[in-house]
Chains A and B, each alone.
Chain A
Amino acid sequence: MNSGPKQGAGKPPMFGDYEAQRHWQEITFNLPIKQWYFNSSDNNLQYWGLDYPPLTAYHSFLCAYVAKFINPDWIALHTSRGYESQAHKLFMRATVLIADLLIYIPAVVLYCCCLKEVSTKKKIASALCILLYPGLILIDYGHFQYNSVSLGFALWGVLGVSYDWDLLGSLAFCLAINYKQMELYHSLPFFCFLLGKCFKKGLKGKGLVLLIKLTCTVVASFVLCWLPFFTEREQTLQVLRRLFPVDRGLFEDKVANIWCSFSVFLKIRDILPHHIQIMISFCFTFLSLLPACIKLTLHPSPKGFRFTLVSCALSFFLFSFQVHEKSILLVSLPVCLVLSEIPFMSTWFLLVSTFSMLPLLLKDELLMPSVVTVMAFFIACATSFSIFEKTSEEELQLKCFSTSVRKYFTCFTFLPKIIQHLFLMSVIAMILLTMMTVTLDPPQKLPDLFSVLVCFVSCLHFLFFLVYFNIIIMWDSKNGRSQKKIN
């Protein structure tokens, strides 16, 4: 049961992203396209300027059209700033719900239907658990955003590419990128997987044809989306400047990212000059995701693709530039996809990802809904997948890894126990931190103590998961080669 829409009623108004979306409807409806991304007297870019690619703008335009039909006051230029009313809230939430219903939910349902070697009951359970993922529900309906659109498109892309509908898949993924530029986190795995497929088919024959067709599809979809902005060079540059604000620093606010956690010990943001920061983050990101991507290019497989999506997105999240805490959703989506394969670790990760957004959720007064949805999600996963019984090495997909390690250390048999203990400790830590953040006041000298603690703890978790997922990817090759599995 999708409890998401039920959150709609009675939630407190969120000034931030809610007002931003309303403002974008106002801008896109009242101003001509050429002025959407430019600073002008009518469009003050400092007040929630557009900083997503054109597809978001078109979507806002569509919503504004409907809004005009219902009540033009909602999007009147200048006068509707900070507009709030019950009817408007219902309208905005309805737009999120409709976007969800049209794009994200069908993708999830279709994905679960197409799972191989899985009983019908497990398919329904997977769909239920994915839809119940608290992070997406809370951010989209509570904090107010349209992540389900870009994630939905990306999921369509994954579906298409996994089942050999490469052109449609890449088209869907281009739409996703053109909706939110953060989807670029997923772009490398797509690129490597498709490249790998082309290589496999042979670069002299079918592979080349496929490569050309893919390139054409991608270019065509980009041109189609950016058409109004290609007329002048200045337009394109301005949009790019809005999308990728390289003038901002390494990170903003508190995020469960390496740089933020590292700055607890060493304030690199202030020490190093700007371009060196960019270079360092670039290097780290690419170094951490290179092994998985190379492996995917050489041995393309849907399973490897999914895991590489996870590890790439996680690498980007941990090491990249200007990451928002909401970007963890980009990692959570691929993890949801592997929920049926490694239920225990996926559930653990998804709980941590929701926990990492705790400061943001508390700011929006979403404590009660988050507790309820997290508990509902946990109960759903625990009952559907019996996750606590599936912690053996085999189930955690770590069999190959542990056998390799056992060649050197024969006593390495206690991996499942370690992981179980770690899980218990992590849950206790998360619950404790949540309670402390809610009930206690931070000391005067360290007003951000709890947020920083939350980020730090989440970051440690994410590093652990990064290592874990990379292990699965790298050691899967030996399994694949020796047993000739075509998965």
Chain B
Amino acid sequence: MAAFGIATGGGNWFSALALGVTLLKCLLIPTYHSTDFEVHRNWLAITHSLPISQWYYEATSEWTLDYPPFFAWFEYALSHVAKYFDQEMLNVRNLNYSSPRTLLFQRFSVIFTDALFVYAVHECCKCIDGKKAGKELTEKPKFILSVLLLWNFGLLIVDHIHFQYNGFLSGLMLLSIARFFQKRHMEGAFLFAVLLHFKHIYLYIAPAYGVYLLRSYCFTANKPDGSIRWNSFSFVRLISLGLIVFLVSAVSLGPFLALNQLPQVFSRLFPFKRGLCHAYWAPNFWALYSALDKVLSVIGLELKLLDPNKIPKASMTSGLVQQFQHTVLPSVTPLATFICTLIAVLPSVFCLWFKPQGPRGFLRCLILCALSSFMFGWHVHEKAILLAVLPMSLLSVGKAVDASIFLILTTTGHYSLFPLLFTAAELPIKILLMLLFTIYSISSLKTLFRKEKPLFNWMETFYLLGLGPLEVFCEFVFPFTSWNLKYPFIPLLLTSVYCAVGITYAWFKLYVSVLTDPPVGKTKKQ
């Protein structure tokens, strides 16, 4: 009895948190799921029923395999468990098949693979120093970080309602970050290489990894003033890193290289035929750009500066995913977005090279890479904001400045995920969960940093509070007005523009804080 008491008593709050969130995920099983559910069912079917040579060619369903090979192998492994639940889901021809057992299996597979995420959070908590800790358990940075990560609202609704497998992928990313903090660089590099072959979206943060490993791992020592010591370069380390990456890629892409299918694989992985923004604009720079374009075109039409006949008919918010033109401002090509992203990422990468600050500097550069790619990338999904939000949680319990940036980023990022769940039944759930998470994150971080100056200035507070009326307007007022028929895209437009402002602001603030941070040594290098 006593042993059981200790297990459930004050000692093991982490297990209690992990168990609690797992129970919550079980409750979310019967909720709405998006087309991503069918996507993954289709991939289970493809990998199970067809030989490898067909995996990237199969196109019976519109949801073709567009993740790297490791994910395909992952689905293959899952399919072997799936056949005990419902054999029918593994038939490629069973489009949109979703029996109760299929649903149960898929949901449980997400919940189960989240175990890796829980482990990664546990490792991350070890990397946080608890010097600022109060006596209360709930005030310790470790506890706050665990709650912010394990109960992250965005991850919950994207993974367990909308249906995706971001949990264990984020777990891999956080684990590799934690390994860097623990000075186990080889493991971290290996984990990242594996992650890259699970989901290639993590290419966004590859620059941070590459530069950090090169600068802080291959060059084993620094001069006293923090600049590079060229003669401390270690070829052995460079070679071993290269070997790791090469081996992982070989295991992943090897079979397809042997089958001469690499071009096909790459065309599936990087579909540039899609448009700049998809049906719902991700709240990035291009959303602001497109909104400005629309406003200017409306003004131009009113002032008779533009000829109505010359305006292309395809509207960007009509929901079709295709290529289109802007009307007033110059159109954007994939190359342009790539160049913009590169320019946006370069300063942070330079900072990482010239002012290395150990793992913490790496983490900030990683977040900046993720955010910059989100801001300027081509066909970005709003779900990609989670790539920046989760690592940012690690920084938020360290310094007050980071905490305030984190809160703005997270709150607006999470709010921008609302249009993903558009059914009426999910409305109370998403509002309740969002409120709980936001209130908890703000209050706990405020308590943690109560001795420093307040986290938000009046402008930021005003902006964050404005999210409430915006939600009320979009969900409750607008559907009952007459504009609902004429301009049905206005709530989406408003949401993405409003959030884009917040995210841009957070990105900018983080950049400023990284660039103006004094380096570890004495002199300040550019």
Contacts and interface: CB of A to CB of B under 8 A. Distances in A.
A386 B267 CA distance: 57
A5 B432 contact: yes
Interface residues of A, number: 35
B26 A388 contact: no
Contacts of B432: 2, 5-6
Interface string B205-222: 000000000000000000
Most chain A C-beta atoms within 10 Å of own C-beta, residue among B31, B425, B433: B425
A121 B30 CA distance: 34
A90 B30 contact: no
Contact of A388 (B1, B16, B20): B1
Nearest to A8: B428
Interface stretch (A58-66, A148-156, A367-375, A461-469): A367-375
A372 B19 contact: no
A368 B111 CA distance: 15
Contacts of A379: 8, 16, 19-20, 23
B475 interface: no
B169 to A, nearest CB: 25
Nearest to B3: A388
A406 to B, nearest CB: 23
A387 to B, nearest CB: 8
A389 interface: yes
B424 A90 contact: yes
Interface in A81-100: 86-87, 89-90, 93-94, 97
Contact of B27 (A3, A89, A97, A383): A3
Given A3-B27, A372-B27, A375-B23, A9 B8 contact: no
A376 B425 contact: no
A373 B27 CA distance: 9
Interface in B26-79: 26-32
B32 A9 contact: yes
A238 interface: no
Contacts of B324: none
A5 B429 contact: yes
A376 B13 CA distance: 14
Nearest to A7: B27
B24 A3 contact: yes
A372 B26 CA distance: 7
Contacts of B26: 368, 372
Given A8-B425, A9-B31, A86-B424, A383 B1 contact: no
A1 interface: yes
A6 B429 contact: yes
A90 B23 contact: no
A9 B23 contact: no
B479 to A, nearest CB: 12
Given A6-B27, A10-B30, A383 B9 contact: yes
A89 B425 CA distance: 9
B2 interface: yes
Interface string A1-21: 111011111110000000000
A382 B26 CA distance: 20
Contacts of A5: 428-429, 432
Contacts of A391: 1
A388 B5 contact: yes
Contacts, number: 86
B10 interface: yes
Contacts of A375: 19, 23
Given A11-B30, A379-B20, A389-B2, A90 B425 contact: yes
Tell me what chain B mostly uses at the interface: helix, strand, loop, or mixed. helix
Contact of A6 (B4, B10, B28): B28
Contacts of A97: 428
Contacts of B433: 6
Given A5-B432, A97-B428, A388 B30 contact: no
A424 B436 CA distance: 35
A372 B30 CA distance: 13
A3 B28 CA distance: 10
B426 interface: yes
B26 to A, nearest CB: 5
Nearest to A91: B424
Interface string A119-137: 0010000000000000000
A369 B428 CA distance: 18
A420 interface: yes
Interface string A273-314: 000000000000000000000000000000000000000000
Interface in A364-400: 368-369, 372-373, 375-376, 379-380, 382-383, 386-389, 391
Nearest to B161: A9
B146 to A, nearest CB: 14
B436 A1 contact: yes
A7 B426 CA distance: 10
Contacts of B138: 121
Nearest to B29: A368
A369 to B, nearest CB: 6
Interface string B303-328: 00000000000000000000000000
A14 to B, nearest CB: 14
Nearest to B429: A6
B424 to A, nearest CB: 5
A44 to B, nearest CB: 32
Contact of B23 (A11, A376, A386, A420): A376
A93 B429 CA distance: 12
Contact of A389 (B9, B20, B427, B429): B9
B5 A386 contact: yes
Contacts of A420: 1
B299 to A, nearest CB: 39
A94 B23 contact: no
Interface in A352-372: 368-369, 372
B396 to A, nearest CB: 21
Given A10-B30, A386-B5, 9 more contacts: A6-B429, A8-B429, A9-B426, A9-B428, A10-B425, A11-B30, A90-B428, A93-B428, A97-B428
25 contacts: A5-B428, A6-B433, A8-B428, A8-B429, A9-B425, A9-B426, A10-B30, A10-B31, A87-B424, A93-B428, A368-B29, A373-B23, A375-B23, A376-B24, A380-B20, A383-B8, A386-B8, A386-B10, A387-B5, A388-B2, A388-B8, A389-B2, A389-B9, A420-B1, A424-B1
Across the A-B interface, the 4 shortest Cβ-Cβ residue pairs: A388-B5, A10-B30, A382-B8, A9-B425
